[in-house]
Structure 1
Amino acid sequence: MSRKLLLKAVEQAYSDRRRLVAPLLGFPGINLTNSSIKVAQQNYIEHYKVLNALYNEFHPDAMFTLMDLSVEANALGCYTLFPQEESATVLHSSFDESRLEFMNSIEIEGDSRALSYCATVKKMSENFQDSMTCAYITGPYTLAGLILGANKAAEMTLTNPELLDDVCGTAYEKIKTYAEMLTSSGAKAVCVLEPSAVMLGPEQFIRFSAEYVKRITEIYSESDIAFIYHICGNSMHLLEAMCDAGVNALSLDSPETGMDIKKACKSAGDNIIVIGNINPAGKILYGTDDEVFNETEKLLNETAEFPNFVLSTGCDLPQAVPLENIRAFMDAGRKYKLP
């Protein structure tokens, strides 16, 4: 089995008594380029300009594309809005089973937005020499929820799990293809965004998310490409199932949601990286740079005993996060030395 580049980087940093610093950046870069979220999410050159501005400003150890849960759903024909100053949003529309056959026939390789994100990834991999290029895909249950409606998907876990299996299966096929497109374009880590799954119990989570994610990770078992599971909110009850999905890292939400980062690091073991978990809507958004520095240093002290930790944010940062607070976060991470 090939050693994942992400794991190698974490091990090297730990041996150097430091941490990788990889906040989930993206939207604050809009402020550096005077662009808009709408334009950046639809124009790969503008998208890259936003990320390049962040890269030049902060030089994090990993750079992610803009977080976007609409790419695959939009490619499958779901009704999607593109506000000028907000991320694209998939709106619920009625669903019947006949649509599933049509969705299965769609070749996502030809979707303009999917191709745009791949073009951004290609430019990132070519130009961000000291930052790992990372991209996002939507998790199977979350994509099923976008197709069906989140409430309907949750209801179907009990009332019609067989049909939900079919929808998740279609979602799996499309996100698998999208992952192949992104990795072929140069992504060295792929983050599976599964926010809707936080409402599931462990058995449901395994059935409607983890089993499909495991099929994807098995495809890359001999490659150096890492997979990351990200679930918003308190996912403590899903940690074991997340780890069993074959992923190489867990991206975990902030303590304010109920996440216990130390317990998560222990549960994950030495072979799965834990990424997190400064609150993106807390001090980094509303506080002073000193408060951000101190909060970040406190998190680093709390996790010092764990070799498998990467300093990051609990989710993607809002556009309104002050750049000086991101700088304080980065400074705290860069200056910190492990005992």
Structure 2
Amino acid sequence: MKALTIIILAVAVLAVAGIGYRMLGLTDPDVPALREDHDHTINEFKRGHVEEDEHGAKRILISDVKLAAAGAVLAEAGEVTLSDTLSFNGVLRANQETVVQVTPRFPGIVRSIRKRIGDTVAGNDLLASIESNQSLTVYDLKAPISGTVIDRQISLGEYASEQKPAFVVADLSTIWADLSIYRQDLKRVRSGDEVLIDPDDGGADIKGHISYVAPIGSIDTQTAIARIVLTNTDGRLRPGLFVTARLVLTKRSVPVAVRAGAIQTLDNKTVVFVREDKDKIEARPVEVGESDARFVEIRAGMAAGEPYVAENSFVVKAEMGKGEGEHGH
């Protein structure tokens, strides 16, 4: 009887202990389902935790989703042509050699208007009809060239004079980029020099060559104009908008380079945040070489083809700082 009582008490104690163990949120690593929850908890703890690899470089677990949400952009290290450049500001203008002012032959009343600003026209397309004051007959005003209507100075029913253009038609398949060159830089600018134009629209730079350097300067700005004729068949360039340009002085190709925004300093080391194993970012110490406004040569520490954080890399640096703080705490 005593033995039976002892067995019953032992079973009860074990049952209560098991219930209490679970109530405390503890898990039994010998039970598969509980072990899975345990491992998940450990993995969640490690995410965002900074560790070091065998070379002492710091690493952190961070997903592509989190990087993208923070505005960080990945790119691949690779061969780049570095350029020594001079930067200038400029403005896009319609090619004045392909701009035509369309003026009425005889003064009269505007009876119809067929084209408006922004319309594309072909040569000999009807622009408007005007009733001559002299003959009281209606004659047609037609486009002399193919292009785009960029200005219109008449309205329906008003008097149109032969002294003032009714329309301005421009062929915008080529555009002028007029750069303002300060006097101290004029000696370095020559016709034929390569220039990279940035329209600031998120697209790639446009390569061109200087076709004209003005022989006179502006008394107001103390600058002279250097002009580049750019192809604009896709309509990307719009007259009147500002651009920046880089005059290429020298060029040199390097086998491995990263974007300038990728370079950071961590623990007094120059580092690039390199993507490893799809979910890790390593603060890779690197040796940098030459650079230009956009890229930095990597002489040691990275190979071509390695993915790295190219933009907003400070986000990863901040995450590493948080991870170290939590670890220290």
TM-score, normalised relative to structure 2: 0.20
Of Structure 1 and Structure 2, the greater strand share is in: 2
TM-score, normalised relative to structure 1: 0.20
Q: Which has the larger radius of gyration?
A: 2
